[in-house]
A and B are shown apart, each in its own frame.
Chain A
C-alpha cells in the first residue's frame, strides 16, 4: 500500500471539514493495535554511555571506560593498596593462630573387681 508516487503539489488542497474528522472506528482500531503493554525501557544509562564514548570522556566522564590509554597508575596504586591490606591483615591475625593442642590417647586403666 506504499504510495511512493504521492507528490506534495497534489496534497496541498486540504480535504473538506467533514473529511478531516477522524474516523473513530479507525482510530480505535489503531489504538488497539498499537497499544504498548510493556512499560517503556529506561534509556538514560544507554544515552549517557553513548555520549561518554563519542565525546571521548568529555561528558559523563567516569575516568575509566573512555580513557585513551589504560590508567596504569590507578591499577598500580590499587594493586599496592590491596597488597598492603593483605600484609597488614596477615600480621594482625597470625599471632592468634596457635599450634594445635596435643591429644593424649592413653588407655583408661582397667579396674579389676576382686572376687
Chain B
C-alpha cells in the first residue's frame, strides 16, 4: 500500500479526490463557457454533438430534423449557459435542454402534420416477432429476411412515433440512453415515482401496440 503522504501529495488528491478533481475541472469548464469562451464552446459541441444528435434522432425519427434541432440545441446552450447553476451535471442539463426543445418541436410538427405516414403491409404478411430481436435492416443477408427485418423495424419505429412525447422521452432516455432514474427525474422535472410509473406505462403501451400491429405476442 502506498504511503498515505505520497498519495496525498498527488495533485488529484490535493483537490480532495478524483471525483472532486472532476467536479473542479467541470466547474472551470463551465466558467469558461459562461465567459463566452468560443474555444470552450467548440469543445462542448464536439463532446456532446453525437449524444445530442442520437437522442434527437430517436425522439424525432428524422435525420434532417434531428440535425437542425441539434444545432438549435447548442445555440440555446450557448445563450443560456451563464444561467447554469451547476445543480446537476452538465450532461444532464444538456439533455434537459435537448428534450425540452425537442418536445416543443414535436408539438409544432404535430400541428403541421408533417410527420411521415407510411402505409405498412398487412399484418398477415409480416415476419414473426422473435425475428425482431436485434434484427436490423443491415444485419439481414437474405432478401426475404431483409424485407421482414425492415418491416419489423418500421413497425417498431412507427409505434415509438405514435407514443405521446412524454412517454417517448422516458422510454428513450432510460432504455436506449441508459440514464439512471435520478437523471431522468432531473431531466424531466418529475418525481422519482412518477418517472418509474411513466416508464412502466410507456413500455406497456409500446409493447401492446407492436403486438397489435404484428398480430402476435412479444416473447
Contacts of A46 in B (CB 8 A): 67, 71
In whole angstroms, what is the CA distance A48 to B152 when docked? 39
B95 at the interface (CB under 8 A from A): no
B200 touches A47 (CB 8 A): no
A11 touches B198 (CB 8 A): yes
B26 at the interface (CB under 8 A from A): no
A47 touches B67 (CB 8 A): no
Select one of A12, A19, A59 contacting B193, CB under 8 A. A12
Contact with B along A55-72 (1 / 0, CB 8 A): 000011000000000000
A104 at the interface (CB under 8 A from B): no
- Interface residue tally of chain B, by bracket? 35 or more
Contacts of B176 in A (CB 8 A): 30-31, 34
Contacts of A51 in B (CB 8 A): 75, 78
B74 touches A43 (CB 8 A): yes
Contacts of A40 in B (CB 8 A): 49-50, 53-54
Which DSSP category, helix, strand, loop or mixed, fits chain B's interface?
helix
- Interface residue tally of chain A, by bracket? 35 or more
- Measured CB to CB, the residues of B under 8 A from A are 36, 38, 42, 45-46, 49-50, 53-54, 57-58, 63, 67, 70-72, 74-75, 78, 129, 132-136, 138, 152-153, 156-157, 159-160, 162-164, 166-167, 171-172, 174-176, 190-194, 196-201, 203, 205-210, 218-219
Enumerate 15 A-B pairs (CB-CB under 8 Å) in ascending A order. A2-B162, A14-B197, A22-B174, A27-B175, A30-B156, A30-B160, A30-B176, A36-B57, A37-B138, A40-B49, A40-B53, A43-B74, A47-B75, A48-B42, A59-B78
- Measured CB to CB, the residues of A under 8 A from B are 1-4, 6, 8, 11-15, 19-20, 22-23, 25-38, 40-44, 46-48, 50-51, 54, 59-60
